[in-house]
Every structure is written in C-alpha cells, then in structure tokens.
Amino acid sequence: MKILVCISNVPDTTTKVKFVDSLRKLDTQGIQWVINPWDELSLTRALELKDDPLNQVQSVTVAHVGLVGAEPTIRKALAIGADDAIRINAEPTDAYFVAAQLARVIQENSYNLILCGIESSDYNGSMVGGMVAEFCEYPSISSVSAVKIENGQFIFTREIDGGKEVVTIPAPVVAIIQKGIAKEPRIAAMRGIMMARSKPLKVVEPSVAEPLTEIVAFELPKPRAACKFVDPENPAQLINLLQNEAKII
C-alpha cells in the first residue's frame, strides 16, 4: 500500500499579507513559509497509518508543485516522517495547472490513497484534490474528518450537513481532508531533521498544461467602522442598537 500526500507551501497563517507591483503580486519579503495546515494534518494521519504494521503501508510520499525555493518546506515534510518526495519544477500558476501536474505523477507511480487538504490557506480554493481525482478518473471523497484501514479497505468519515457519514471506497481514491483527521500536527524531531537531508527528493519537469485562471489584482479589506461601546452595566442598550440601529434581531 502506497500513500501520497499533496502539499502546498503557504505563508504562515499569522502573516500580514502585503502586495507589490500595483497590488498585482504578493510581497514575499519576510514571509515565513509553512506546509499548508491541512496538508500537515494529512501527512500526520498518513504517518499514523504507516506506524501500525497491520495497515501494511509501505511508503508515504509527498508531492509538491513549485520552484526550488519551496524545498525547505518539502524537507520539513521529510523531517516529519515522509519517506520520499517529488517536486514538480514549475511555478504553481493556478489550481488546474497544479492538479494536472500532480495527476501525471500519480498516474506514473500508482498510489492507493492520495490525500489533499480541503483548501490552501493562501488562495482558499478548495480545488486541487477534486481536480486531481477527475484528471485521474479516480473516485474522491471530500470533507473527510477520519480515515482508517480495515482488512485492506479504506473507511472514511465525512462531514455532512448536521452530522457524519461513514463511507467505503475502493482504491485508488483521493481523499480531501478537513479538521479532525489528526489531533495535532506531528513535529519533526532532531533525528528526523538529520535523516531528511538524505531522503530522496526527486525533481521532475512539468508537462504542458494551460492555467485557466489568473489573478489580475489584489485588494486589501476596507477598514471597518470603529466599534461602538456599550456600558457593561446596561446591555439592554446593546439589544436596542441591534434591534433599532442595525435592525438585525
């Protein structure tokens, strides 16, 4: 059994984003890059599955579409415990392009389970996982909050409106991961960091695929009006404002 985790390289979630070039490009100065939080949790769960010999997971591979600058993030995934990594050497221009690249790698190496995060914290698209599945003509399952293996079969829990569903799907399958999949992201230990340096990181060149979308300009949020303060001794005033000024209750 082989598992692939697709990872995205994103600015740390506390970053105050800024733009340059007349608001057309992200100002990358001073940005701390991290593994997208959901991808980190997916990787953690993949490693937990591998830890249990009953699951017979032979390898956990990570794949990333990006330029050489993303290698520290990939090495971090190796340090956390992935066995090997593949970097597709191209600027990740849009989700369609990225998914097309990942799909090729998947078809060439045939994994049983492919994990993608439900969204990347930069462009918030919720796109790559589903796109990869359609390119590969694999089944997929979204909003997955748990995955286990029983008798060689994947058992997923997915969130539905007002509850949860337990679903089985034959491999190969793409699972799109959200909260709940693992408690805390696994942290790289010193030994892992040392070992990561010698783990295989294969660089492959991209195939031809045309991006279908392009960001033409960014905007920063408009500042909100100043907060109106209400006397804590008299919250009836708050109810009055919500009712008569904002007119929302």
Partner 1 sequence: MSVLIFVENWDGKFKKLSFELVSYGSKLAEMLGKEVIVLSIGKVDNSELEKLGKFGANRIISAFNDSINCFDSRLFTSIIAGFAKQEGAEVVILSNNNTGKAIAPRLSVNLKAGLGAGVGKLPTGISPFVVYKKVFSGNAFANLTIKSAIKVLTLAQNSFVLIETENSATILEVNVPIDQTMMQNRVIEVNKQSGKILLTDADIVVSGGRGMKSGDNWTPLLEIAELLGAATACSRPVSDEGWRPHEEHTGQTGKIIAPNLYFAIGISGATQHLAGVSSSKYIVAINTDKDAPIFSAAQYGIVGDAGKVLPKIVEALRQQKGK
Q: How far is the CB of 183 from ligand FAD (least distance, A)?
A: 13
236 belongs to the binding site for partner 1 (CB under 8 A)? yes
13 belongs to the binding site for ligand FAD (CB under 6 A)? yes
Q: How far is the CB of 193 from partner 1 (least distance, A)?
A: 25
Size of the site for partner 1 (CB under 8 A): 81
Q: Which of 119, 62, 122 is nearest to 130 (CA)?
A: 119
Quick one: which of 155, 188, 193, 204 contacts partner 1 (CB under 8 A)?
155
Site map (CB under 8 A) of partner 1, residues 99-138, x = contact: x------------------x--xxxxxxxxxxx-xxx---
Quick one: which of 74, 81, 140, 147 contacts partner 1 (CB under 8 A)?
140
Task: List CB contacts of 171: < 8 A, sequence separation 6 or more.
Answer: 112, 113, 154
What is the torsion angle, in degrees rounded to the nearest 10, for the CA atoms of residue 188, residue 193, residue 194 and residue 200?
110
What is the torsion angle, in degrees rounded to the nearest 10, for the CA atoms of residue 66, residue 206, residue 131 and residue 47?
-60
In contact, 35 and 156? CB cutoff 8 Å: no
Closer to partner 1 by Cβ: residue 58 or 168 = 168
Q: How far apart are CA 218 and CA 244, in angstroms?
A: 36
Size of the site for ligand FAD (CB under 6 A): 2
Q: How far apart are CA 186 and CA 164, in angstroms?
A: 25
Q: How far apart are CA 225 and CA 31, in angstroms?
A: 29
**Stretch 25-64 residues interacting with ligand FAD (CB under 6 A):** 37
Q: Which of 185, 188, 162, 175 is nearest to 133 (CA)?
A: 175
232 belongs to the binding site for partner 1 (CB under 8 A)? yes
Closer to partner 1 by Cβ: residue 83 or 122 = 122
Closer to ligand FAD by Cβ: residue 37 or 66 = 37
19 belongs to the binding site for partner 1 (CB under 8 A)? yes
Q: How far is the CB of 185 from ligand FAD (least distance, A)?
A: 8
- Interacting residue ranges for ligand FAD, rule: CB under 6 A: 13, 37
